[in-house]
Structure 1
Amino acid sequence: METKKEELSFLVNRLIKAVVTLEEVLQESFSIIVRDATIQRFEYCFELSWKVLKKALKIEGVEVNSPRQALRSAFEIGYIEDIDIWFEMLEDRNLTSHTYDPEVADKVYESAKRLPTEIRKVVKTLDVTG
């Protein structure tokens, strides 16, 4: 059985691969299809992010059961720098089921542009390579 740190390292590697796909789509010229693909990738990157934080927090002895709890605890421990950005992205993630509305879709698309930078900060902070 893998150790908790090995499990975290595995999840972080999956997250890095996922964020690369988000960054790739963000390089594309805007179109409705690109926006929609970006929203889908934002959604799964955000989900992986909070689950990575949940695993890292568990290693620290902190149990969380929701994305909001994970973000708050990760902020308190110092895994994330700006809780407000993460809470805004959480709200936008919660809106993804309403992206049939062009205004909501555009809002989530703009939020998706911020996620790769924030994920890379978290990955650097977790430093699971050593």
Structure 2
Amino acid sequence: MHPIAEAYELSGVDFCKTPKSCIREFFSAGYLDEDDTKLLLQMIDDRNLTSHTYKEEIAEDIFSRFEKYIPILEKIILKIKEIGFI
């Protein structure tokens, strides 16, 4: 389960059904800015590509973006802790 979805579930919120809907809801609630939201949605798209595409060049392209994804994931974890979801 996606960390944001899990945080919403633990807090009793039941409208976060997919990873992208969770990201959009987190943005709507004011916990993410537009740039972070776009980056997280791109990360989800990349994850989906790796599940359905088996081309080395695509994998390398996605891998090259990992260094951008790690800080935003750390930021999400801190935000979830800050607002008391975990």
TM over 0.5: yes
Specify which of 57, 64, 73 is matched with residue 16 of structure 2.
64
| Higher fraction of helix | 1
Mapping of residues 4-19 of structure 1, within 5 Å: none
CA-CA distance at 1:57 after TM superposition: 2.3
Instruction: Give the aligned length.
Output: 79
- CA distance in structure 1 between the aligned counterparts of 2:40 and 2:14, rounded to whole angstroms: 19
- CA distance in structure 2 between the aligned counterparts of 1:91 and 1:84, rounded to whole angstroms: 10
Q: Is the 8 A contact 1:92 1:111 kept in 2?
A: no
Mapping of residues 1-130 of structure 1, within 5 Å: 51-58=2-9, 59=11, 61-81=13-33, 82-97=36-51, 98=53, 100-127=54-81, 128=84
Q: When the two structures are superposed, what TM-score results if normalisation uses the length of structure 2? A: 0.75
Q: When the two structures are superposed, what TM-score results if normalisation uses the length of structure 1? A: 0.52
Larger radius of gyration: 1
- Gap regions ≥5 residues in structure 2: none
Structure with the larger RCO, 1 or 2 (CA within 8 Å, 6+ apart): 2
- CA distance in structure 2 between the aligned counterparts of 1:106 and 1:124, rounded to whole angstroms: 29
- CA distance in structure 1 between the aligned counterparts of 2:49 and 2:24, rounded to whole angstroms: 20
Q: Is the 8 A contact 1:54 1:70 kept in 2?
A: yes
Letter in 2 for 1:83: T
- CA distance in structure 2 between the aligned counterparts of 1:79 and 1:57, rounded to whole angstroms: 13
- CA distance in structure 1 between the aligned counterparts of 2:12 and 2:78, rounded to whole angstroms: 17
CA RMSD of aligned residues (A): 2.1
Letter in 1 for 2:18: S
Q: Is the 8 A contact 1:64 1:70 kept in 2?
A: yes
